[in-house]
Each structure stands twice: as structure tokens, then as C-alpha cells.
Amino acid sequence: MNKAKPFLKWAGGKKQLLKQFENLYPDELKQGKIKKYIEPFVGGGAVFFEIIQKYNVSYSYISDINKNLILTYVVIQKKLFKLLETLEKYQKQYHNIEEEQRKPLFLSIREDFNSQKSKINYKKLSDKWILVAAQLIFLNKTCFNGLFRLNSKGEFNVPFGKYNNPNILDIDNLILVSKILQNTEIVIADYKSCFKVADEKTFIYFDPPYRPISKTANFTNYAGFEFTDREQIQLADFFKKLDTQKNAKLMLSNSDPKNENSDDSFFEKLYDGYNFHQVNANRMINCIGKNRGQINELVITNY
């Protein structure tokens, strides 16, 4: 049977790490003793889709601070058919025009998407959400590298991508995704909002924005503001609070600063006393040739 997979390409997506992650999930998840799954930095949700379809959890909670991203999950959950209709219009429009007309179409949808922000009530689902969700999916499929990035004004600013046949309307996958989301609580929120739902039968996977590996590395701005070392420190405090007060199983990943500087023990100090694991990631550190290729990613667990 086909499985639901992420419907967006997302910076920091964990698709390529899923196999290695499998060995690092808590035994209780594999034994069916974990009943809740929480992913507070859900992004494209590669780990979420994997866990929900592989293990027997009865409740899941996903959140992200990126409002338009979460709005799109909610639209897929609650207004799938209207979303498919809108995507079908975009798909036809895109494929029926000459190649040189595609870039202007992309730019006008991008402009419209950016101008919607101030008009949306993110607290109440409305038909306006459907258009924003369709535009986000359209832009993700047709922009350069298929990414979502915002500038300092919070505007989506990725250029046109020039693909011959982008799959703007992936009906089969969106139907599968919608089914999965029927049992999921989807929340626009800071990661700390998950505290109230966690308990000792919960597994939480944290995938915060990467700590930039070097000062020159490009910083990925997902939501219009930065995740600095101060935020990494606050997140570690939150991890400890969940560990001691909720007894939940916790797993967190981040870039390993030792890729660039073997003396950088930032995470070892922050998560002193927890378990450290390494996985291989094919990420590029920066544009300098010698630093390309295999680098490590850290996984920290409390079990």
C-alpha cells in the first residue's frame, strides 16, 4: 500500500536520515508502549509521516511557528477537496502556457501570496486559507530548489525554478496525507506549547533550526526570525523540564559543530548527562570545495 509522504520540500528535511534514525527511536515505540507522538518543529514532517505509519500511536501533535505552513496542514486535514480544485486550476494554468509565460505567473502568485499575510485570520479557518495553502504548495513545487525561505520582512523570496513538469497537483499523496491528519492535532505555536500534552507514554522528536556550522554558513530563515544560541539554550532547558517533569521519551537532532571545529562542545555542555549519537548527513557546509560532502549530525536522547 502506498504511504503518505511529505507534501513539501523543506529545508532541513529528514528524509535522507530516516533509515539511520530508526535505530535511535525508543524501544517503547517499537513495543507499542508509546501512545502519543509529538513533533514541535514539524517542517515538512518526514519523521512524522514515517512514525505515524510505522508504529502504533493513537494520538499525534504537530506544531511549527511558520503560520502558512501549519495553515496548509490544516487545509489538507479539513478542506482537502477545495484545495485539490484550486491546485488543479494552478496545474492547468501552468502547463497550458508557453515556457516564457511561466515565470511571470510564478511571480504574480508569489506577490499575491506575500500580500495575503496581513489579511489572514490565522485563528479561524476560512476559505482564504485554501488559496494560501494552494499558493504555498504551488510556489514550493515551482520555485528554485523547491524551498521555503523568507526575507527579513517575512516575505517569501525564492526565485522561479524552471522545471518542465512540476507535480503541482499530487492528488494521491494529498489524499493519503489528509487521512493521516484526521487523527492529528495541528497547531501554529512555539515549540513550548507541547508541554501540556506530553506524558510518560509520549515520544517527542525535536528538529529545531540548525545551529549554523560556521559563521559564514548560510542561515536558513524559515519563519522570518532567527534561532540563535540563546534559543538553543532555552530549548535545552525545555528538554530537561520535559525529561524531569513529564518523563517523556525525547530525541533531538542538530548539526554537529565538531564538523567545523573539533573543540566546539556547545551541545555536549548543553545536554550534559544525556546520550549522544551521530548520523551521517550529506549536507553541504559551505561553498568551499574542501568542506563539501559527508558531515555528521548529532542526535541526543534521554533514553
Ligand X SMILES: C[S@@+](CC[C@H](N)C(=O)[O-])C[C@H]1O[C@@H](n2cnc3c(N)ncnc32)[C@H](O)[C@@H]1O
Q: Catalog residues that contact ligand X under the rule CB under 6 A.
A: 10, 12-14, 40-41, 43-44, 46-47, 64-66, 190-191, 207-209, 222-223, 227
Q: Which residue is listed with cell 494529498?
A: 174
Residue among 91 and 114 whose Cβ is closer to ligand X: 114
Q: How many CB atoms lie within 10 A of CB 185?
A: 15
Residue among 91 and 202 whose Cβ is closer to ligand X: 202
Distance in angstroms (rounded) separating the CA atoms of residues 218 and 214: 9
In angstroms, the Cα distances linking 213 to 26, 250, 257 are: 28, 23, 5
Distance in angstroms (rounded) separating the CA atoms of residues 184 and 52: 10
Residue among 47 and 204 whose Cβ is closer to ligand X: 47
What minimum distance in Å lies between the beta carbon of 100 and ligand X? 33
Largest CA distance in the chain: 60
Residue among 21 and 138 whose Cβ is closer to ligand X: 21
What minimum distance in Å lies between the beta carbon of 4 and ligand X? 14
DSSP assignment string, 107-169: HHHHHHHHHHGGG--TTS--HHHHHHHHHHHHHHHHBGGG---B-TTS-B-PPB---SS--S-
Q: Which residue is listed with cell 499575491?
A: 112
Which residues have a Cβ under 8 Å from the Cβ of 289 and sit 6 or more positions away? none
Q: Which residue is listed with cell 507535480?
A: 167
What minimum distance in Å lies between the beta carbon of 18 and ligand X? 9
What minimum distance in Å lies between the beta carbon of 245 and ligand X? 19
Edge-to-edge strand list for the sheet holding 275-281: 184-188, 59-64, 36-39, 202-206, 249-255, 295-301, 275-281
Distance in angstroms (rounded) separating the CA atoms of residues 176 and 77: 10
Residue among 44 and 146 whose Cβ is closer to ligand X: 44
What minimum distance in Å lies between the beta carbon of 75 and ligand X? 17
Residue among 26 and 154 whose Cβ is closer to ligand X: 154
What minimum distance in Å lies between the beta carbon of 58 and ligand X? 22
Residue among 47 and 75 whose Cβ is closer to ligand X: 47
Residue among 24 and 223 whose Cβ is closer to ligand X: 223
What minimum distance in Å lies between the beta carbon of 89 and ligand X? 27
Q: Is 195 helix (H, G, I), strand (E, B) or coil?
A: helix
What minimum distance in Å lies between the beta carbon of 284 and ligand X? 15
Contact 266, 257 (CB under 8 A): yes
